[in-house]
Amino acid sequence: MGMYASIRGWLEIDFAQRADAERIIEQNRHELYSGGWAFPSRPFNWSLYLFYGGDIRRGELPWLREQVEQLAGMPPVDEDDDWPSGLFVVTAEDQDGARMWQVRQATVTELPAPGLSWLDE
């Protein structure tokens, strides 16, 4: 058995970016772990949130991080110039405290998340 990491988070994207997001997820399909991605069952209001939640082998974190980076890099689709934004919390058995992937302006930045370390208990 290997070490595992728990990932839970979301991306806010434009409704017009859904097809591109689905394409990115499909191109990076993993037999076990792609099932962690979820869209709302039907659109409502003006924001579309794409969620990920799951426990994956620690060695697969780069696979997921690469997808998040590709999703973060989807260009804005309107004059508001809004890039995808979001936050993912990562806790792992072999890691001291929680980490977060902050998604902003086409960049994914990994930072410590000491205030969220209770998720690791």
Q: Which amino acid is at 84?
A: P
**pLDDT computed for residue 105 by the predictor:** 95
Report the half-sphere exposure of 111 (CA within 13 A, side-chain side): 12
For residue 41, give both structure tokens: 């069952």
Q: How many residues does the chain have?
A: 121
Q: What does the pLDDT read at residue 97?
A: 84
- Whether the model clears a pTM of 0.85, i.e. scores above it, the answer is yes
Q: What is the pLDDT of residue 109?
A: 98
Q: Distance between CA atoms of 92 and 99, rounded to whole angstroms?
A: 9
Q: What is the reported pLDDT for 121? A: 63
CA–CA dist 41, 64 (Å, integer):
22
d(CA 18, CA 99): 27
How crowded is residue 41: how many other Cβ atoms within 10 Å of its Cβ? Answer: 6
Among residues 74, 104, 108, the alpha carbon closest in space to that of 90 is found at: 108
End-to-end CA distance of the chain: 20
Q: Which domain holds residue 73?
A: 4-120
pLDDT (tens, 9 = 90+) of the chain, 121 residues, equals 579 999 999 999 999 999 999 999 999 999 999 999 999 988 788 889 999 999 999 999 999 999 999 999 999 988 888 999 999 999 988 777 899 999 999 999 999 987 777 776 6
Split into its structural domains, the chain has a count of 1
Q: What confidence score (pLDDT) does residue 78 get? A: 85
Q: Residue 101 maps to which CATH number?
A: 3.30.70
Query: For residues 13 and 18, what is the distance between their CA atoms, to the nearest angstrom?
Result: 7
